[in-house]
Chain A
Amino acid sequence: MELIMEQFPIVVRALNVGFVQTLKLFFITLIGACPLGLVIAFGSMSRFGPLSFISKIFVWIIRGTPLMIQLLIIYYFPGLVLHKPIWGGGEGGRFLAASVSFIVNYACYFSEIYRGGIQGVPVGQEEAGLVLGMTRSQIFFKVTLLQMIKRVVPPMSNEIITLVKDTSLARIIALQEIIWAGQAFMKGSQGISGAIWPMFFTAVYYLICNGILTLLLGKLEKKLDYFQ
């Protein structure tokens, strides 16, 4: 116990650094996947057959395979198979590869949620707007958008909570996120070696982060409770 108390400040400092990388990956994934998901959703709802087909196949492949495999393929494939290491070496390259993998993967999940949200709004809503002489953009912004958001928030909340935990998968390409930082103390780092508790302690970070997110997303959901 005393030993842990002694190690604690050193470990926390290292974990904080790893957690910043975790958070960076988390936010960049959200920023990229939210709009890209919308593009894919529109693609799969397109009346142009080939576009809709390609979008649906793409979503099926991405959702049907583990994110970990996608990470490995995206990171290693260009260098090892094509002999064109586009990611460059070092932490920057790993972060870029991880970001691309996460954005693509999450965009596919988001696109399905968006599609459900968009198609879940009854056509009668648009027709009522049309009959009242509203333009299509007025109908979208004043009538259907908020109803879509209301439908999309609960499943998106689930995905966002999952994303926080999924960032740990980036460990597989040695991205220096929080798990990596915790693991370093097993092998030996900054005079501490064979310590397994830092790894376990990373869970606290995830818990606190998800606790805050659950609270915020719950608030948003509550805000949209005034109508049905």
Chain B
Amino acid sequence: MSILEVEHICKTFEDTEVLKDISFSLEKGQVVSIIGSSGSGKTTLLRCLNFLERPDKGVIRVNGEVLFDAADVFTGQEAEIRKKRLHFGLVFQSFNLFPQYTALGNVMLAKELQAKERPDYKEKKKEIHEEIQAQAEALLDQMGLSDRKGNYPHQLSGGQCQRVAIARALALQPDILCFDEPTSALDPELTGEVLRVIKSLADQKTTMIIVTHEMAFARDVADQVIFMDDGYILEQGDPMQVFENPREERTRQFLMRFTQREKGGVSKRR
């Protein structure tokens, strides 16, 4: 059974149709890269999965459980949504770290707030706190940030901030981790460290959806590539096929633009 099934998602803002019938599925431990030009709806799709936008039509299923069904109003209720969100994690293009917390604090905050809802929180306060801290420290170690735990976001480089953001998302152990152009806000020399971390997560069989403009990376890390164009999934398949032998002319054109740009030495996008 697929870990994620997305069926016929549509989303319209005022009068712009941004997503027009999106369907795909994802297996546990797999990585899907989503590519496509600016404005094709990639961010909106990730925001729908994370319940930051409400699709007008469609169904989202995780592990067979219907998380969202536009036809069923109950699945759209605020209190329900908060729990369902936890199936997904989202790493933003602009990090969105909490500036008043240290790297460690950022990773621990949500988990600590969750722990307060536990019935045994009062008795075991100390143990719970230590457990959460140990987990957060382990995650920051894994991100290569052992010596940055006590730093505030403004004291970190963009690449370090993004790695903290990844640790923060991982702390809640989401089933599926989404990335929205995780390196687009970074200076070119800092993209490598973030991509390496994501690659290592893929090697550990973390289920991920990665929107990116780093074509070489998309191809290298993914089990499946989705090419989005104007609100549709125009093409999907394994990376070799999509990158080497695209079926659609639009995909070919898009990839051409990118290879040219990369050859021209400007692979960075803002």
Chain A residues engaging chain B, CB cutoff 8 angstroms: 122, 124-125, 127-135, 138, 142-143, 146-147, 226-228
8 Å CB interface, B130-153 against A: 152-153
Question: Which stretch of B20-28, B107-115, B192-200, B239-247 is in the interface?
Answer: B107-115
Chain B residues whose CB sits within 8 angstroms of the CB of A226 once the complex forms? 100, 152
Chain A residues whose CB sits within 8 angstroms of the CB of B114 once the complex forms? 133
Verify A132–B82 contact, CB threshold 8 A.
no
The listed residue (A127, A133, A147, A228) touching B86 by CB distance below 8 A is A133
A132 and B168 in contact, given A138-B113, A228-B154 (Cβ under 8 angstroms):
yes
The listed residue (B94, B109, B154) touching A132 by CB distance below 8 A is B109
User: 8 A-B Cβ contacts within 8 A?
Assistant: A124-B92, A124-B94, A128-B92, A128-B97, A131-B50, A132-B168, A133-B172, A227-B152
Verify B154–A133 contact, CB threshold 8 A.
no
Q: How far is it, in angstroms, between the C-alpha of A130 and the C-alpha of B85 when the chains are bound?
A: 8
Chain B residues whose CB sits within 8 angstroms of the CB of A133 once the complex forms? 82-83, 85-86, 110, 114, 172
A131 and B154 in contact, given A124-B94, A147-B99, A147-B100 (Cβ under 8 angstroms):
no
Chain A residues whose CB sits within 8 angstroms of the CB of B96 once the complex forms? 122, 124-125, 127-128
7 closest Cβ pairs, A-B complex = A132-B110, A128-B96, A124-B96, A228-B154, A227-B100, A227-B99, A131-B90
Chain B residues whose CB sits within 8 angstroms of the CB of A130 once the complex forms? 51-52, 85
Closest chain B residue, CB of each to CB of A133: B86
Q: How far is the CB of A23 from chain B (nearest CB, A)?
A: 34
Q: Any chain A CB within 8 A of the CB of B89? A: yes
Closest chain B residue, CB of each to CB of A149: B100
Verify B154–A227 contact, CB threshold 8 A.
yes
Chain A residues whose CB sits within 8 angstroms of the CB of B98 once the complex forms? 125, 128, 143
Q: How far is the CB of B46 from chain A (nearest CB, A)?
A: 10
Closest chain A residue, CB of each to CB of B168: A132
Chain B residues whose CB sits within 8 angstroms of the CB of A135 once the complex forms? 82
15 additional A-B residue pairs with CB within 8 Å, beyond A124-B94, A133-B85, A227-B152: A122-B96, A128-B97, A128-B98, A131-B52, A131-B169, A132-B109, A132-B110, A133-B110, A133-B114, A138-B113, A142-B109, A143-B109, A146-B100, A227-B153, A228-B152
Binary interface profile of B, 40-78, with partner A (CB < 8 Å = 1, else 0)? 000000000011100000000000000000000000000
Q: How far is the CB of A224 from chain B (nearest CB, A)?
A: 9
Q: How far is the CB of A227 from chain B (nearest CB, A)?
A: 4
Q: How far is it, in angstroms, between the C-alpha of A227 and the C-alpha of B100 when the chains are bound?
A: 5
Q: How far is the CB of A152 from chain B (nearest CB, A)?
A: 14
Chain A residues whose CB sits within 8 angstroms of the CB of B92 once the complex forms? 124, 127-128
Q: How far is the CB of A136 from chain B (nearest CB, A)?
A: 8
Determine which residue in B85, B90, B94, B99 has the highest number of CB atoms from chain A within 10 A of its CB, and name it: B99
A228 and B99 in contact, given A131-B50, A131-B52 (Cβ under 8 angstroms):
yes
